[in-house]
Amino acid sequence: MDPIDLLARVLHRDQDVIVLDKPAGLAVHAGPNSPEHLELYLDALRFGWAEAPKLAHRLDRDTAGCLLLGRHDKAIRRLGKLFMAHRVEKAYWAVTHGGPVADHGRVDLPLLKVSSKDKGWRIVANAQKGQPAITDWRVLGRGTLEGIGAIVWLEFRPRTGRTHQVRIHAQSLDCPLLGDPYYGPEPEPRLPLHLLARSLDLPGLSDNKPAIHAEAPPPPHMLAALTACGWR
């Protein structure tokens, strides 16, 4: 990624935090399959500070949108406390295959991470052994997409922060996300993952600082589906 492009993706900046519009397809940190990752480029976001900002949370590689960074160690500690206290409000936009009949609701479905030597790790629903996972959702639009059929534009607000929570909870509603290679209807989807971390809301970290609100625009690969569901 060009560092200049990263500068253009800053949605909010103050003395404590940066909210970045992370592009889909870029992992946030290094891993066995992630030689290129966001942390390689964070030095471009110092804005005159001695150190680069640090990740306050993470997004999946294929999820686009709002990513919160702390600009110094004290900010990272404060952000961690806000996440633990559930004072960081996150909203996701997704486009799904089909959709629920109702217009809003809540999924309360515990999730469990399981691992095996041959298949690696995965997340499964498990009411007995899983960690609590709660997501509120509402329908923002309905439509059809050529080659796909009925689709629904949904807003998800996770009340807990489990890995792949929105994706599995959408699957539990019988409406998996378009382009989801793990929880979707096809092993090799024709589309990129249609999931956007749309917005973040949290208190200001310093005294007398206003609350922070940031919104990320839909990525190009989601525009056709969102438009078909009534987005303008």
Q: Which amino acid is at 149?
A: G
Rounded alpha-carbon distances, angstroms, from residue 202 to 16, 24, 53, 90, 173: 12, 23, 18, 9, 29
Q: Which residues pair with 116 in a beta bridge?
A: 120
User: What is the distance between the alpha carbons of residues 232 and 229, in angstroms, rounded to a whole number?
Assistant: 9
- First-to-last C-alpha distance (Å) of the chain: 29
Return contacts of 49-57, CB within 8 angstroms, 24+ apart.
Answer: 53/17, 53/18, 55/28, 55/29, 56/17, 56/80, 56/83, 57/83, 57/88, 57/161
Question: Active site includes 60?
Answer: yes
Q: Which amino acid is at 226?
A: L
Of 60, 108, 136, 201, the active-site residue reads 60
Catalogue the active-site residues.
60
